[in-house]
Structure 1
Amino acid sequence: MTTRTPPSTAAGPAASPTAGPVASPAAARVAADLRAALSPLVRRLRQVKPDGELTFSQISALVRLDREGPATASELAAGEGIRPQSMCTIIGVLQERGLVARDPDPTDGRRIVVSLTTAGLDGLHGARAERSRRLGLAIDEELTPAEQRQLADAIPLLERITRRV
């Protein structure tokens, strides 16, 4: 069991009562630089929408269904941190496009579960492939082979810190 270190009163106005341990100044600078570099990248990848491509919210719902399996609209909404009514709208659009199916829960007929269709899985993979294609082209066009190797070497480090955050 890990115990949290109480926040220092000298931590300044940004500290919160549940902040826990504080990173070293060097690590804090790297963290800020990393966020500043990755946030625009993530935003740009989310904005990439060729004609007919799904919105980020729609893709996010499909990803959750792909990872976690069938779920109710309420479960999906809770997982996404949105209102159930908003999720119902998203599911309605996905169902109209044939990407999800709504069926009675086999264990509780009062509940409706949403699941991916084959077309939904294909759509999800297509969206991922397009984002990967664009990112790959940017890497080819912007980075030297040595820089590409540096970036590749950094991926395991990013994965490790992602698991820790």
Structure 2
Amino acid sequence: MEARDAVNRSTAVALRLALGSFKRRTREAAAQGELTTPELSVLAQIDRAAPVAIADLARAQQITPQSMGATVASLESHGLVARAPDPEDRRRSLLTVTAKGGDVLHSSRDAISDRMAAALGESFTDAEVAVLAAAAPLLERLSQRF
């Protein structure tokens, strides 16, 4: 079992380094828009989980509800998210992405995806693209496991 542990550890280190670099590059691409990276991240989270409460977003992003509240307030001020009372608990608000928020989110995603697709087309073989395509769901599963 020690050999597998060593392989797991070296794989974890390699993934952390590669994904850290990848994350920095996608942040640079996203920084060309008007929203900050945390705002885009929260907007995407709301889009995936809506309707969702601020406390649930904070838990998912591993930050305090107060910090999440500030980010949500900024998104609201831009007209990107809307609050509605929770029908099961009127003390809570549930968030959804507005049409404008959806447009901003999708245009940001499209720009990053377009740059990534261009890089794949220019610098990777078909076999390498297939390996990356197969790895994508595994990376998503890994991100939800730790």
Interval containing the TM-score (normalised by the shorter chain): 0.7 to 0.9
Kindly indicate whether residue 136 of structure 2 is the aligned counterpart of residue 159 of structure 1.
Answer: yes
SS at match of 1:133: helix
Q: Which runs of 5+ in 1 are unaligned?
A: 6-10, 12-21
Where do residues 58-137 of structure 1 align in structure 2 (5 Å cutoff)? 58-137=39-118
Deviation at 1:25, TM superposition (A): 4.5
Deviation at 1:119, TM superposition (A): 1.1
Change (3 A) 1:93 1:130: same
Change (3 A) 1:130 1:122: same
Structure 2 residue aligned with 1:15: none
**Structure 1 vs Structure 2: percent identity of aligned residues?**
32
RMSD between aligned alpha carbons? 2.4
Task: Give the conservation status (yes or no) of the 8 Å contact 2:33–2:108.
Answer: no
Structure 1 residue aligned with 2:32: 50
Aligned length: 141
Task: Give the conservation status (yes or no) of the 8 Å contact 2:58–2:65.
Answer: yes
Deviation at 1:160, TM superposition (A): 5.0
Deviation at 1:24, TM superposition (A): 5.6
Letter in 2 for 1:47: E
Higher helix share: 2
Q: Which runs of 5+ in 2 are unaligned?
A: none
Structure 1 residue aligned with 2:21: 40
SS at match of 2:4: coil
Change (3 A) 1:138 1:155: closer
| In 2, Cα distance between equivalents of 1:105 and 1:26 | 47
SS at match of 1:110: coil
| In 2, Cα distance between equivalents of 1:113 and 1:150 | 44
Identify the structure with bigger relative contact order (alpha carbons < 8 Å, sequence gap 6+).
2
Structure 2 residue aligned with 1:18: none
